[in-house]
Structure 1
Amino acid sequence: MSEAASTRSTAARRATGPAPHPALLPSLAPLLHEWLPRQRWFAGKGRPVTGFSLVAATELLPARGGSTGDTGAPGLLHLLVGVQQPAGPAHGPSAPPVADCYQLLLGVRSALPPRLAQALIGHVQEGPLAGLTVYEALLDPRLAALLLERLRTTGSPGALRFERDPSAVIPPGLTPRPLGAEQSNSSLVYGDSFILKVFRRVSPGSNPDLELPLALARKGCERVPAPVAWYEADNGDDPDEPYTLGVLQPFLRGSEDGWQRALRALAAGHDFTADARALGRATAEVHTALAVALPMVTLRRQQTEALAAAMTERLDAAAQAVPALVPYVPALRTAFDAFAARGRAGRAWPAQRVHGDLHLGQALRAPGGEWSVIDFEGEPSRPLAERRRPQPVVRDVAG
């Protein structure tokens, strides 16, 4: 086990109170070795999994099992699991192993009913779940509904902490359904009223997809759906830096994302200029509210050189992945070098919190014509500290 993984495991024992059964993770490891790399949100594809560590385990609903041939009442097990892998090629041959932390919600039954066959993870052979079947809980409507109930009532089971906006009304009994396009996270829609984003690869520290919409809501910015409930996990090493695990927000029913709208306009030969201007105004409103809600900084020589170096690193990685970009590399390098040179000459730029991954797919246009901006997580593949760093607002404009 790596030093980082060992630290997280120790923190989990402090956070959860009684330690989970020591055989729990070893009994699940063979199943996770097969299942995890197949998930769309697993970031370490193409690299072998060399080990697991248990960061936290919380039993949200005990599995009661059933008789032979009975699927039994489902249980719900929440895990934070550290996954060790060799570093990727971009880190260099001598880079140390990588240890990422993933949030898993596991359903537990005596047997899986046919309607949940696609959710199967596997059958546990030994340990505290021996003889039971584990599966992806978010695909089970009963367990997805339980998760919403936890968000409705708040509380702190085990290492988890469920919170909500006390002024928000979340009706009981909303029917859950998984959102079709699963990417780096998983999303559930409840009754076409709310959407729950479940973060899969998590790090200590407030996720911008919770932090920024909360800050914008406090400033009365209506361009971003305000969080109505969320849940986190305690971080034993730093209570002020919990793991953000999920955010519940209003579901913008009937909205059309900007990418699809632009493609449709292009196919029909329509002008997108009015939509683009309206989206620009929405982006400006968000930036203005963020500048008031959160501290601004000034980028001087050291910061501009670091920013230029990061852009050059990303350019090299992109060109390596997409050879068609290679002819453009020299001119872009020149532009980045010129930016760094202006910083060395004393030029400074204002910077603030921004969206960080703004593109047309992150903008939704309501049937009435107003634009909203969603998904403030930033680029999930980048470190959390980098995604929370103030940046020039032109990054969002360029996106």
Structure 2
Amino acid sequence: MTRDLAIRRTAPPSRGLMRLLDAWLPARRWYPVKGVEVRHEPWLSYALDVPAPQDVGLPDDAWTDVRVTLHLVRLVGDGVDLVVQVPLVLVAAPAVPAAEHRPAVPLGELEEDGQTWVVHDGAAHPACWAALLTVAQWEDGLVPDRTGEDGSKTSRNAPDLDLTGGRALSLEQSNSSILLPATAGGTMLKVLRAIAIGPNPDVTIPRGLAAEGWGGVPRPLAWLEVGWEPDDVALPGSATGRAAQADEAPRTAHLAILAEFVEGARDGFDLACAYAGQGEPFTDLGAELGRVLADLHAALRRAFGVGAPVDATWLVADLRRRSDEAVASSRALARRADAIGAFWDRTGSRLAEVADVPDALPRLQAVHGDLHLGQVLHARRFGWKVLDFEGEPLRPVAERTRPDLALRDVAGIVRSFDYAAAVGQAHDPAWALHARAAFLDAYERADSAGTDHETSATLVRALTLDKALYEVVYESRNRPDWEPIPLDAVDRLLAADG
């Protein structure tokens, strides 16, 4: 198998191709801008060489006459400047792959270079999967050098690939995922859609945890990272352009990640919804999740260290600022403005009492950053595993990777139980209460950070209210029928803290 295939900068998409993308992009589930008018501008484009189908375990007719390109497209509008990745496969018409390898409905047709091309989403096409994995960087030790007959050794980019049985998952979220059961013992390829500048924490954090020996995360096996010189292009969100960046270091971004596939696992949110709907208590699984999360936070402290104790004055001020923004955006919250303000007054007073006590407040550390039940998997043979460490995809990498409170992850799981109870239509009104209590008690018992119970409880309440306020605004704008779910939590937290 030839291993000298490459990725290289190429021309931006043509006007005809951009017209196809203009019509196709806004309807994607992963498209990060909803209800805001933006324009699509080409930013960076890369062409990938494509291996022969038989070199990746597929029949000779799986594809012929194809081009694979990765286009990074800027979404620019009022207050918006983001980058999304659009991998494309162009198939020369009238070539049609064998039925079992035919991808989803194409974007359309394009006339270029005197040829008609059928344009496909690369995340749904095996030619793109093969091209990505061939040029990806694999974890050290996973790809042995090949020894020739004369004893010489040739370094290889990727192991022998087998895409047999590969399929794109239909449940699109913020990225696109492809299950590859025959590659490296079973793997999941994630094609990142919202692209941020800098090392992606979904690569760096799981690698750090794996090096620490923590087994509660699927191990990353390979990743595709691209780079460019700072004077090549203006960065998204930069009004200064190329000149101001001339002295900066070269830039990089991750475009795809290959990780171990967790066989037999079930999505944590689906599992919790099923338990709720069947009237089954989630207390044992919730307690197990609490212990795993405490263990994760301890492993993160070992792998990445800890920072200074949180500044209580700054924290309360920041939470109050976010709260004021939420109240200004929601009529339902505006009616509760006085009670919300009183909550922050009480929180500030409680934290001020311990602010000068040594080690009373938790230290900042690496965290998951966007944790909820949909970010964990469960299987009977190994328990819980934690996924998707990239944080909120639309935030800059620097913000997503800066130290934070581990209890923010705790608050994310706490809020998920309410959603599972509502979506799963729990018959027992106390289902979520019992799940929360079991989870929080197990987390506190297993947590090695040393924060006392009262301070920890104060912080969890504050961070949970912060998240619930955000959810009220989000649901009112996107899913009005769901607004009562977080609004009930707001009322419950305010009443319990009174």
TM-score, normalisation: structure 2: 0.63
Q: Which residue of 2 aligns with 1:202?
A: 195
Q: 2:139 aligns with which of 146, 165, 186?
A: 165
Mapped to 2, the partners of 1:20 and 1:332 lie a distance apart of: 53
Distance 2:31 2:72 in 1: 14
Q: Distance in 2 between matches of 1:86 and 1:304?
A: 33
Structure 2 letter corresponding to 1:270 = E
Aligned to 2:274: 264
Counterpart CA distance in 1 for 2:313 and 2:254 is 30
Q: CA deviation at 1:142?
A: 3.5
> Does the residue aligned with 1:124 lie in a helix, a strand or coil?
strand
Could you say which residue in structure 1 is the equivalent of 2:60? none
AA in 2 matched with 1:311: L
Of residues 10, 26, 35 in structure 2, which corresponds to 1:20?
A: 10
After the TM superposition, which residues 315-330 of structure 1 pair with which residues of structure 2 at under 5 Å, given as runs?
315=323, 323-330=331-338
Distance change (3 Å), C-alpha of 1:322 and 1:363 = farther
Query: What is the CA distance between 1:328 and its match in structure 2?
Result: 4.8
In 2 relative to 1, CA 250–107 (structure 1 residues): closer, same or farther, beyond 3 Å? same
Report the counterpart of residue 67 of structure 2 in structure 1.
75
Alignment pair present for 1:383 and 2:357: no
Alignment correspondent of 1:90 = none
Q: CA offsets per residue over residues 340-367 of structure 1, 9 Å max, x none? A: 5677784554110101111111121112
Deviation at 1:255, TM superposition (A): 0.8
1:364 equivalent to 2:377? Answer yes
**Unaligned runs of at least 5 residues, structure 1:** 1-15, 64-70, 88-97, 155-161
**Are 1:123 and 2:105 matched, yes or no?**
no
Percent identity (aligned): 34
Letter in 2 for 1:49: V
- 2:43 pairs with 1:54: yes
**For the Cα contact (< 8 Å) 1:53–1:83, is it kept in 2?**
no
Conservation of the 8 A alpha-carbon contact between 1:258 and 1:361: yes
Instruction: Name the CA distance, whole Å, in 1 between partners of 2:335 and 2:344.
Output: 16
Residue range with higher mean Cα deviation, 129-138 or 98-107: 129-138
Gaps of 5+ in 2: 1-6, 53-62, 144-158, 231-247, 413-498
Alignment CA distance shift 1:371-1:171 (3 Å): farther
2:218 to 204, 214, 225: 225
Distance 1:197 1:327, change over 3 A: farther
Which residue of structure 1 lines up, in the alignment, with residue 82 of structure 2? Answer: 100
| CA shift for structure 1 position 118 | 4.0
Residue pair 1:165, 1:229 contacting (<8 A) in 2 also: yes
1:133 to 118, 121, 137: 118
Match of 1:185 among 163, 175, 179: 175
CA RMSD after TM alignment: 3.1
- Structure 1 297/109 Cα, relative in aligned 2: closer, same or farther at 3 Å? same
The Cα of 1:247 is off from its aligned counterpart by: 1.3
CA distance in 2, matches of 1:341, 1:20: 58
**How far is 1:194 from its partner?**
0.4
Q: 1:250 to 1:117 in 2, by over 3 A?
A: closer
| 1:97-145: CA deviation from partner (whole Å, max 9, x where unpaired) | x22111111001123749657442232345x586323220221233323
**Is residue 369–residue 389 contact of structure 2 (8 Å, CA) maintained in 1?**
yes
* Whole-angstrom distance in 2 between the partners of 1:165 and 1:205: 19
Distance 2:269 2:348 in 1: 33
State how far apart, in whole Å, the 2-side matches of 1:163 and 1:239 are: 21
Using the TM superposition, give the Cα deviation of residue 195 of structure 1 relative to its aligned residue in structure 2, in angstroms.
Answer: 0.5
SS of residue paired to 2:167: strand
Inter-CA distance 117–378: structure 2 relative to 1 (3 Å threshold): closer
* Whole-angstrom CA distance in 2 between matches of 1:324 and 1:109: 52
Q: Deviations over 1:56-89 (max 9, x none)?
A: 32243499xxxxxxx95222111222221222xx
Task: Tell me whether 1:354 sits opposite 2:362 in the alignment.
Answer: no
Greater gyration radius:
2
Would the alpha carbon gap of residues 337 and 354 (structure 1) be closer, same or farther in structure 2, given more than 3 Å must change?
A: farther
